[in-house]
Amino acid sequence: MSVLLVVAGGALAGPTGMKMALAFAVIINGISYFFSDKIALKSSGAQPVTREQLPRLYAVMERLAAKANLPVPKLYVIPEEAPNAFATGRNPQHASVAVTQGLLQLMNDDELEGVIAHELSHVRNYDILTTSVAATLAGAITYLAHMAQWGMLFGGYGGDRDDDREGGAFAAIAMMILAPFAALLLQLFLSRTREYSADATGARMVGQPYGLISALQKLGAYNQRIPTTALAPATAALCIVKPMFGGGGLSSLFSTHPPLEDRIAALRQMTIVPQR
């Protein structure tokens, strides 16, 4: 993603653009590493909760964290009717898990355990850092393309007799179109691949896939009917299911999550050896 950002800067403004884009990439990566969790939680309106407030959630989290040999993440609740959950943070020692009020109301104990195991799998596999940095850099690439668009409108690449400059203008136009699209595809690839892995790891953590299967079925049904109001679009790729995700066709192709039917089918085909 950083290389793509630097290439975009070079195509838009030559060597100077490459240097500026490289500096921009370093800054964005630093912000993503240290502050992506705070940004995600703040943008979703998540509120910290104590064990006294939600003993059921803490009991599930502490049991699974001990099973996975992980520190217990900080727990947050989002004032949102649509059921969903996400994990964020730069490593297991600085991880947070947020769930919506709708999820707590909808899930039975087995389903809640499946959802929490899925989110803990993201923590253990460092997916939370990877997807956060990818999302931030994808946004930076898109922002750079928009800035270049405005620069061209106000004379950055006006008509000129110089063939080299004309070629640079064409390269800049191509990069403005292709760079954001390439960044989106990279982000979607990372997110989709990680969801399958987290499903499988979460099912093994619990010892059976059926709670997570039932949870995914409920999440899919309810997120098609209940509009999401609290979750920000930037956190959509972090959620266990995409808020208000579409059906098949192009909406499925460019979704941040693989189709739920495929995820459930993969879970049904798992063979889990009971732990002794």
Question: Residue 12 pLDDT > 70, yes or no?
Answer: no
Taking the model in full, what pTM does it have?
Answer: 0.74
CA pair distance 41, 79, nearest whole angstrom: 12
Q: What is the DSSP pairing of strand 85-88 with strand 47-48?
A: unpaired
- Sketch the domain layout of the chain as residue ranges: 2-268
Tens digits of residue pLDDT in 116-126: 999 999 999 88
Contact of 130 with 206, CB cutoff 8 Å: no
Whether 80 is catalytic is no
Q: Of 51-60, 131-140, 257-266, which has the strongest mean pLDDT?
A: 51-60
Mean residue pLDDT across the chain: 78
Cβ-Cβ contacts under 8 Å for 139 (sequence gap 6 or more): 234
Ramachandran assignment for 166, one of left (phi > 0), alpha (psi -120 to 50 degrees), beta (any other): alpha
Residue 127 pLDDT grade (very low, low, confident, very high; cuts 50, 70, 90): confident
Higher pLDDT residue, 219 or 187?
219
Nearest CA-CA partner of 111 in 220, 250, 216, 201:
216
Tens digits of residue pLDDT in 33-88: 677 778 888 888 999 999 999 999 999 999 999 999 999 999 999 999 999 999 98
Q: 97 has which bridge partners?
A: 75, 87
Question: Residue 167 pLDDT > 90, yes or no?
Answer: no
Q: Which of 80, 111, 113, 119 is catalytic?
A: 119
